[in-house]
Each structure stands twice: as structure tokens, then as C-alpha cells.
Amino acid sequence: MPLTPRTLNNCEALDGQDPLAGLRAQFSLPEGVIYLDGNSLGPLPLATPGRIAQTLNEEWGKGLITSWNTAGWLDLPQQVGDKIARLIGAHPGEVVAADSTSINLYKILSAALNIAADDPRRTAIVSERGNFPTDLYIAQSLCRDRGLTLHLVERDELDAALRDDVAVLMLTHVDYRTGTMHDMAALCAQAHEAGMLTVWDLAHSAGAVPVDLHAAGADFAVGCGYKYLNGGPGAPAFLWMNPRHADRIRQPLTGWWGHAAPFAFTTDYIPAAGVNGFQSGTPSILGLAALDCGLDTLLAAEGLGGMVALRRKSLALTSLFMALVQERLQGHGFAIATPADETRRGSQVSLTRAEGAWAIMQALIERGVIGDFRAGDGKHQHDILRFGFAPLYIGHADVWQAVDQLHQVMQSGQWREARFAQRHAVT
Ligand SMILES: Cc1ncc(COP(=O)(O)O)c(C=O)c1O
């Protein structure tokens, strides 16, 4: 990156030459805020309020129930799914937007276990000990009900864990705590070699890094609508199945919306073809309308190089942040938990500190730099300050300003003020 010294002037010059800089105008971001938490909740696209108003006032208000047919409500889960497909290397018709990531994972993981049950020796799910808790809780439930074992290992123990008693390898592609990214293609190849299926959680990947599910040879994937896809709080999630499994799928939540003919009202369940059979109940049209607008903010980059260009900028931003932290925050007790290796990094950078991470983040938020906090665990004993860099609306100068504010918080000792110790329910 041609940026030495790393000054605010140079950062502004880079932003001035950035072909993606105009994409920020798609968002309603409060003045004076540097938003580094799009990895948790993406910001509001300017188009969303109008679209929601249209859905409420015209489609629901005037069209009433006819809007299922006349306003395209019926097809929205697939239409939105097709937009997501463009971001994750899936084909049209292979992705459906529905439910939450947790519920989709339950359905997908269960379907994968049903396929794997053909070989009764395969009695384990392998995952990482530090995987996102909901993934582990869902897997625990399925293992309990089916008499299977959930084998949790550290990242560097995965190779050894892929044995012939494993039914499914279930991983989150980009780690929510550290931003570390797996080599999906290599792990899929290894897993298939050992005869197991792969299930991927793309919560921190879709819209954040280029994903190519087909090229990687993945089997199943789920992901989240409210993070990098900017779909709004509690937005519908999505799921994908490799079509090679289409004929063997049996999912557990066989609601009428996943029926081949929901409005035939037959007594017996007949699954809809392909990924549509993974739907369960009536979709949230308001949620899908908002997610559709969020996806448009990413697809607006397609003419500018798409996810490849967004990735290039994201790496420039995360590299800059790490370099500035090393340059300006030496001696303040921070360590960088995110890999320096660009091929192993998502679109966030996590800093750890032995004490005070919560208070430091609160002091930073008060100054308009919004990241978030994650408590340490058995492996990461120190608490984490997370900073997400969404290249759609973050620039190099934002990165510089964020580190400058962090430097001021530390130099002044402001974070030690008692009010910053006050904990909130959502971190
Ligand atoms: C990796 C991962 N999976 C799943 C989720 C959330 O799932 P849900 O949308 O069901 O709450 C999160 C939320 O932060 C996450 O980080």
C-alpha cells in the first residue's frame, strides 16, 4: 500500500482516489460517527425507509392479501436469495432467505446428518471450540437427540480431528472473535477425502470477503442478513445447499412453506424441490424488503469490481489499522489477535488487552468511534475490542481517525472514568 508516512493527509488522498468511495452515499450514517461495527449490525441504507413505507402503505395497506400475488411477496425469499447467491459463489435458485441463522443451521445440519446416517460408523460432528455459541448450541441439541458426539477442537487440531467416524465438519468461515478466516476449499477437500460433509456459517463472510461455495466444493452453508448484508436488526438469514444433495434432503422443520404445493393444503408433506424445501413458515415480508435494500448496497459495487474490489479495499483498511495500532499504540497494552497474513483475515481486526477493554470501547464510542467488545474465553484469556471495516462506507481517513481517538483515550487515561465501567446487556 503506497502510504508512508501514515498521515491523515495521505489517508485522505487515498480516499480521494478510491473508486468505491461513492458507495458510502447509499447509507444514512450519523454525522461525526465512524461506524466500525457493521460486522455486528450493518447501517441503514437510505433506500430502506422508502421501501418499507411502500411495503406497508401500498402493498399491505392498499393491496392487502392480494399483494402475495400482485406485489411479488411470494417470490421474495428466492429473489433475495438470488442476490445473496451472487456474493457467495452460488447459482440462481440455490439460496433462500429465511428464518434466523440459528434455525437455518438446525435445518441444514440435521439434513446433513440424515445423509451421513447412511454410514452408521459416522457418529460425530467436528467443530471449533471457539465457534460462535449458537452454532455449538444447535449442534449440541442435535447430538443429544441423535446420540452423536460433538467433538470440539482448536483450529490447529482440525487436521487430526477429520477421522472416519466424523459425519459433518461444521465451521464458521471467519471467526467472530478474531476475524481469522479458514481456507474453505482446502478444508472441504480434506473433509471429503475423509468421507464427511461440510457445513459453513458465513455470518462474517457474506458481503465481507469473496466466497465461492461451488469452487470450494462446499456441501451446505448458512449466513446472516443483518451484518455485512445491511438487512437491519433481526433481518432474515439465508441457507444454501449444493445441488448435488438435492435428491437426498430431509430437513426436520417441515412446515407448509417448504411444501411442494403449500396452497393445495394436502394432509401429507411433500417437500418443495431444492433449497425451497428448507423453508418452514410464512416469511417476514418487511424483513425481506429491508434485506433486499441492504443487498443492493453491495451489488452496487458490481460495476466497480464487485467483491474482489471490496476485498482489496477491506484488506487495505485492515492492514492500515493494524499498522497504525503498532505505530501509535505501543506501550498501551494492546495485542492484535487478527492474523497479519491477508489470506487468513476477514474484514475485522480484533485487539486484546489484559484489562479495561470494555471501558476503553465505551470511551471510544462516546467519541463517535463505534466498535464492540467480546469477553475473553478459555483460549483468549484477554477481552477483545472488535473493529469491523466495511469498505462500502469506511475510508482510510476513518481508520486514521479511529486509531487517533483510541490513542487519545489511552494517553488521557479517560477510559478509567467510572461511568465507562457501567456494563450494558448487549455488548
Ligand atoms: C458466526 C455467527 N453465527 C450466527 C450468529 C447469529 O445467529 P442468529 O441470527 O440466529 O442470531 C452470529 C451472530 O453474531 C454469528 O456471529
- CATH code for the domain of 350: 3.90.1150.10
Total structural domains in the chain? Answer: 2
Query: Residue 170 Cα, ligand 1 centroid: separation in angstroms?
Result: 14
Best probe residue, ligand 1, of 134, 174, 205, 227 (max atoms within 8 Å of C-beta): 134
- 300 vs 28: CA distance, rounded Å: 16
- Same domain for 136 and 257, yes or no, is yes
Same structural domain, 86 and 203: yes
Half-sphere exposure of 157 (CA within 13 A, CB side): 10
Domain identity same for 189 and 255: yes
Catalytic member of 226, 278, 387, 389: 226
- Residue 2 or residue 260, greater confidence: 260
Q: List the grid coordinates of 338.
A: 487478527
What per-residue confidence (pLDDT) applies to 79?
98
Does 61 map to a domain? no
Q: Is the dihedral of CA 276, 282, 284, 286 positive or negative?
A: positive
Domain-located, residue 52: no
Share above pLDDT 90 across residues of the chain, in percent, rounded to a whole number: 96
For helices 396-412 and 8-17, what crossing angle results, to 10°? 160
Burial of 331 (0-12, 13-18, 19+ CB in 10 A): exposed
Ligand 1 pocket test: which of 100, 101, 182, 228 has the largest number of ligand atoms within 8 Å of its C-beta?
101
pLDDT interval class at 378 (50, 70, 90): low
Domain membership of residue 176 (yes or no) is yes
pTM exceeds 0.95, yes or no: yes
62 is catalytic: no
Question: Which residue, 238, 248, 244, is CA-closest to 188?
Answer: 244
CB 1 within 8 A of CB 13: no
Average pLDDT, the chain: 97
- Under a CB-based contact definition with an 8 Å cutoff, are residues 325 and 336 in contact? yes
Predicted confidence (pLDDT) per residue in 218-260, tens digit: 999 999 999 999 999 999 999 999 999 999 999 999 999 999 9
Ligand 1 centroid distance, CA of 75 (Å): 25
Please give the pLDDT value at position 3.
Answer: 67
- Which of 249, 271, 299 is where one domain is finished? 299
How far, in Å, are 132, 148, 344 from residue 347 at the CA level? 17, 34, 10
Out of 282, 299, 316, pick the residue that ends a domain. Answer: 299
Determine which helix (DSSP H) or strand (DSSP E) holds 238, and give its type and residue range.
strand 237-241
- Ligand 1 atom at minimum distance from 40 CA: 14
Summarize pLDDT for 172-223 with one digit per residue, the tens: 999 999 999 999 999 999 999 999 999 999 999 999 999 999 999 999 999 9
Q: Which residues share a beta bridge with 170? A: 199
Residue to substitute in 41, 100, 107, 132 for testing ligand 1 pocket (most ligand atoms within 8 angstroms of CB): 132
Do residues 220 and 251 both lie within one domain? yes
| pLDDT score, position 377 | 76
> Does residue 19 lie within any of the structural domains?
yes
Range of the domain at 237: 75-299
Report if residue 69 sits inside a domain.
Answer: no
Same-domain pairing of 270 and 328: no
CATH value at residue 182: 3.40.640.10
98 forms beta bridges with 237
List the Cα angle 372/373/378 in 5-degree steps.
Answer: 150
Cα 268 to middle of ligand 1, angstroms: 33
Residue 2 forms part of a structural domain? no
What's the confidence (pLDDT) of residue 49? 98
Asked whether residue 312 falls in the same domain as residue 293, the answer is no
Nearest CA to ligand 1 atom 4: 101
| pLDDT at position 380 | 66
Using the mean position of ligand 1's atoms as its centre, give its distance from the Cα of residue 92 in Å.
Answer: 24
Which residue has a Cα nearest atom 12 of ligand 1?
Answer: 203
Residue 366 and residue 253 share a domain: no
Tell me which of 24, 83, 122, 227 is the catalytic residue.
227
Check the CA dihedral 409-412-415-418 and report its sign.
negative
Banded model confidence at residue 46, pLDDT cuts 50, 70, 90: very high
- Lookup: cell for 231: 438487512
In this prediction, residue 427 has a pLDDT band, given cuts at 50, 70 and 90, of confident
Last residue of a domain, one of 273, 299, 325: 299
Distance 102 CA to ligand 1 centre (A): 7
- Provide the residue type at 185 as one letter: A
Active site residue 226: yes
Q: Is 387 a catalytic residue?
A: no
CA 172 to ligand 1: nearest atom: 1
- pLDDT over threshold 90, residue 324: yes
Ligand 1 binding pocket (C-beta < 6 A) is: 100-102, 132, 134-135, 172, 176, 201, 203-204, 224, 237
Whether 283 and 314 map to the same domain: the answer is: no
Pairing of strands 166-172, 197-201: parallel
Kindly report the CA angle at 88 between 255 and 199, in degrees rounded to 5?
A: 55
